[in-house]
Amino acid sequence: AQSVTQPDIHITVSEGASLELRCNYSYGATPYLFWYVQSPGQGLQLLLKYFSGDTLVQGIKGFEAEFKRSQSSFNLRKPSVHWSDAAEYFCAVGARWGGSQGNLIFGKGTKLSVKP
Amino acid sequence: DSGVTQTPKHLITATGQRVTLRCSPRSGDLSVYWYQQSLDQGLQFLIQYYNGEERAKGNILERFSAQQFPDLHSELNLSSLELGDSALYFCASSTGLNTEAFFGQGTRLTVV
């Protein structure tokens, strides 16, 4: 069955430090992969997505993610975190049964706190 | 602002009651998705409509139903509510089937 695992429930980093949020997926074929961010009281905003091609994808707000098929991973990175990046981050895989970019299986999320 | 509007923002109701959540998609979007976000289950896909027709169904309870109207707005009906139905319900919309989905800010439902 398709699934997404985000092993870190909560991460705290200092402002200006680098960030890596982990995501592992289970999928029988090449997956469609997404990272979303949810700020308190807000909906989800798409940061970036991977469908095919270059395994390093660039997103908004200075984020990037790398697809590693051998590790079934799609980790999110940012070289220098800003206080405004404090939020909850969700990794998602496109559901095979849906066929639409909105049919998503989400991980449980990683809450990011930023220390001044 | 994603352009997806959900009303109401908050809803408090008693067990056994029925409520209707409304979603207005972005202008021109044909596809609407409903998600439930709870502490126990996380974010779960409920149902998708495309141009008025049901397109895909996820983990939606039989007590829940949805529809998409000719003007493309959608409603999620939740009946015989239980305490466990307390959650944040998101609507998302996309132009077509292979385009990015944009999420609304959600309706927080509290069942007491």
Predicted confidence at residue A97, as pLDDT, reads 62
Predicted confidence at residue A51, as pLDDT, reads 86
Average pLDDT of the segment spanning B4-13: 97
If you measure CA to CA, which chain B residue comes closest to A97? B56
Stated length of chain A: 116
Rounded distance, CA A56 to CA A66, Å? 4
Average pLDDT of the segment spanning B60-79: 97
Predicted confidence at residue A29, as pLDDT, reads 73
Residue that is written with structure tokens 């200006």 in the block: A16
Banded model confidence at residue B12, pLDDT cuts 50, 70, 90? very high
Mean pLDDT of chain B: 95
Residue range A52-100, pLDDT digits in tens: 888 999 999 999 999 999 999 999 999 999 999 999 999 999 876 667 7
Task: Say how many CA atoms lie within 13 Å of A59 toward its Cβ.
Answer: 22
Rounded distance, CA B80 to CA B15, Å? 7
Read off φ and ψ for residue A62, nearest 5 degrees. 80, 10
The one-character DSSP state at B62 is T
Does A49 sit within 8 Å of B97, measured CB to CB? no
Chain B residues inside the 8 Å CB shell of A100: 31, 33, 48, 50, 55-56, 94, 97-98, 101
Is residue B92 within 8 angstroms of chain A, CB to CB?
yes
pLDDT at B66 over 70: yes
Min Cα–Cα distance to chain A from B26, Å: 14
Does B45 sit within 8 Å of A103, measured CB to CB? yes
Predicted confidence at residue B5, as pLDDT, reads 97
Is residue B12 within 8 angstroms of chain A, CB to CB?
no
Q: Taking a C-beta distance cutoff of 8 angstroms, is the pair A95, A1 a contact?
A: no
Chain B residues inside the 8 Å CB shell of A92: 43
Predicted confidence at residue B98, as pLDDT, reads 76
pLDDT at A1 over 80: no
Is residue B112 within 8 angstroms of chain A, CB to CB?
no
> What is the distance, to the nearest Å, from the Cα of residue B30 to the centroid of all Cα atoms in its chain?
15
Residue range A22-39, pLDDT digits in tens: 999 998 677 889 999 999
Predicted confidence at residue A40, as pLDDT, reads 85
Residue range B98-109, pLDDT digits in tens: 788 999 999 999
Residue range B39-58, pLDDT digits in tens: 889 999 999 999 999 999 99
Show the tokens assigned to A51: 């469908």
SS3 label, residue B75: strand
Does A95 sit within 8 Å of B45, measured CB to CB? yes
